[in-house]
Amino acid sequence: MISSLVITDVNSVTREVFGNIAPWMRVVFFVMIAASIGVLVWQVVARLRLWRKGQPGGFERDWRVWIRRFVVYALAQKRVHRKALGALLHLLLFSGFVVLTIGTTLLAIAYDGPYYFHHGWYYLIYELTMDVFGVAFIVGCLLAMYRRAFQRKPSLGHNKSDWWLLGLLLSLGITGFVVEALRMHYTHVQPWVAHWSIVGWLIDATLLRDIDVVTAQTMHLWAWWLHTILVAVFFATIPVNRFLHVITGPLNIAARPERPMGKLVPLKMEEVERTGLIGVSEIEHFTRQQLLSLDSCMECGRCEDACPATATGKPLSPKAVVIDLRGLMSRGGELHGQTIRAETLWACTMCQACVQECPVLIGHVDLISDMRRHLVGQGKISGPPARALQQINSQSNPYGRPNSDRLAWAEGLDVPTVESNPDFDYLLWVGCAASFDPRAQKVARATAQLLKEVGLNFAVLGTEERCTGDPARRIGDEFLFQQLAQANVETLTRHKVKKIVTPCPHCYNTFKNEYPHFGGQYEVQHHSTVLAELVGAGRLSNGKGTGNGEPITLHDPCYLARVNGEVDATRTVVGAARDTQFREMPRCGKKTFCCGAGGGRMWFEEVPSQRVSVLRSQEAIATGARTLATACPFCLNMMTDGMAGTQGGENVKVLDIAELLLSRQASGARE
Ligand code: SF4
Ligand code: SF4
Helix or strand run (H / E) with residue 73: none
Mean pLDDT value across residues 381-394: 96
Distance 457 CA to ligand 1 centre (A): 39
Percent with pLDDT over 70 in the chain: 96
| Ligand 1 pocket, residues with Cβ under 6 angstroms | 306-309, 316, 318, 348-354, 364-365
Ligand 2 site, residue 90, Cβ cutoff 6 A: no
Mapped onto helix, strand or coil, the DSSP state of residue 191 is: helix
Assess whether 337 and 413 both reside in one domain: no
Q: How far apart are CA 658 and CA 158, in angstroms?
A: 48
Q: Are residues 558 and 529 in the same domain?
A: no
196 and 130 within one domain: yes
Position 558: which residue type? C
Same domain, 277 and 349: yes
- Mutate which of 348, 368, 509 for ligand 1? The one with the most ligand atoms within 8 Å of its CB, which is 348
Average pLDDT over residues 380-392: 96
My answer on whether 502 and 483 are in the same domain is yes
* The total number of structural domains that make up the chain: 4
In-domain check, residue 182: yes
- 488: containing domain: 398-534
Tens of pLDDT, residues 560-592: 999 999 999 999 999 876 777 899 999 999 999
DSSP state of 303: H
Q: What is the mean pLDDT of residues 495-520?
A: 98
Task: Give the number of the atom of ligand 2 that is nearest the alpha carbon of residue 296.
Answer: 7
Q: What is the pLDDT of residue 215?
A: 96
Residue 388 lies in a domain: no
Q: Is residue 57 part of a domain?
A: yes
Whether residues 245 and 294 share a domain: the answer is no
Q: Measured from the CA of 322, which atom of ligand 2 is nearest?
A: 1
Is 574 part of a structural domain of the chain? Answer: yes
Examine the domain organization and report whether 523 and 555 are in the same domain.
Answer: no
The pLDDT of residue 157 is above 90: no
Residue 168 CA to ligand 1 centre (angstroms): 34
Co-location of 89 and 145 in the same domain = yes
Is 260 within a domain? Answer: no
Q: In the prediction, which pLDDT does 1 show?
A: 41
Average pLDDT over residues 215-223: 97
Q: Identify whether residues 208 and 235 lie together within a single domain.
A: yes
Ligand nearest to the CA of 73: 2
Asked if the structure places residue 393 within a domain, the reply is: no
Question: Computed over its alpha carbons, how large is the radius of gyration of the chain?
Answer: 31
Which of the listed residues 534, 566, 600 is the one where a domain comes to its end?
534
293/285 Cα distance (integer angstroms): 14
Domain-embedded: residue 382: no
Judge whether 17 lies within some domain: yes
Residue 206: which H helix or E strand, with range?
helix 198-206
* pLDDT tens profile 457-487: 999 999 999 999 999 999 999 999 999 999 9
Q: Both 102 and 196 in a single domain?
A: yes
Please choose, from the candidates 466, 462, 461, 464, the residue with its C-alpha nearest in 3D space to the C-alpha of residue 394: 466
369 and 443 in one domain?
no
CA distance 85 to 445: 49
CATH number, domain of 236, equals 1.20.950.20
CA 180 to chain centre: 41
Q: Which domain-ending residue is among 230, 252, 274?
A: 252
Give phi and psi for 373, each to the nearest 5: -60, -40
**Which domain-ending residue is among 252, 274, 293?**
252
What is the CATH classification number for the domain harbouring 495?
3.40.50
What's the pLDDT band for 544 if we cut at 50, 70, 90?
low
* Among protein residues, the one whose CA lies closest to atom 2 of ligand 1: 351
The ligand whose atoms approach the alpha carbon of 82 most closely is 2
Residues 504 and 429 in one domain: yes
| 80-120 tens-digit pLDDT | 866 678 888 999 999 999 999 999 989 888 877 777 888 89
Q: CATH no. for residue 342? A: 1.10.1060.10
Mean pLDDT (the chain) is: 93
pTM of the model: 0.91
Say whether pLDDT at 432 is over 50.
yes
pLDDT at 256 over 50: yes
Evaluated on CA atoms 269, 273, 278, 279, the torsion sign reads: negative
Atom of ligand 2 minimally distant from the CA of 301: 5
What pLDDT is stored for residue 332 in this prediction? 94
Q: What is the residue with the minimal CA distance to atom 5 of ligand 1?
A: 318
